[in-house]
Amino acid sequence: MNLLKNMLMTGKFPLIMSLPKNDPRLARAAWEHGADVVKIHINVRHHASSTLFGSFEEEQKNIMQMLQEAKGPMGIVLGGSVADAASDYEKIINAGFDFISLYGHHTPISILESHDVTKMLAPDYTWKDWEIALLKDAGADILEASVMHPDSYGEPLSARELIHYRHLADISRLPMVVPAQRAVRPQEVEALCCCGAGGLMIGAVVTGKTESEIAAAVTSFRSAINTLVR
Residue 118 bridge partners (DSSP) = 99
Q: What is the pLDDT along the chain (230 residues), one digit of tens a residue?
A: 789 999 999 999 999 999 999 999 999 999 999 999 999 999 886 555 556 888 899 999 999 999 999 999 999 999 888 998 888 888 988 999 999 999 999 999 989 888 889 999 999 999 999 999 999 999 999 999 999 988 888 899 999 999 999 999 999 999 999 999 899 999 999 999 999 999 999 999 999 999 999 999 999 999 999 998 55
C-alpha 137/C-alpha 188 separation (Å) is 31
CA distance 16 to 37: 5
What is the C-alpha separation between 19 and 207, in angstroms, rounded?
9
What pLDDT is attached to residue 80?
Answer: 87
User: What single letter denotes the amino acid at residue 6?
Assistant: N
Residue pair 178/190 in contact (Cβ under 8 Å)? The answer is: no
What does the pLDDT read at residue 49? 52
* Range of the structural domain that residue 73 is part of: 3-226
Which CATH number does the domain housing residue 206 bear?
A: 3.20.20.70
Tell me how many domains the chain contains: 1
The pTM of the full predicted model, rounded to 2 decimals, is 0.93
Helix (H) or strand (E) holding 41: strand 37-41
DSSP 156: P
Quick check: 125 and 147 in contact, CB under 8 A? Answer: yes
What does the pLDDT read at residue 140? 95
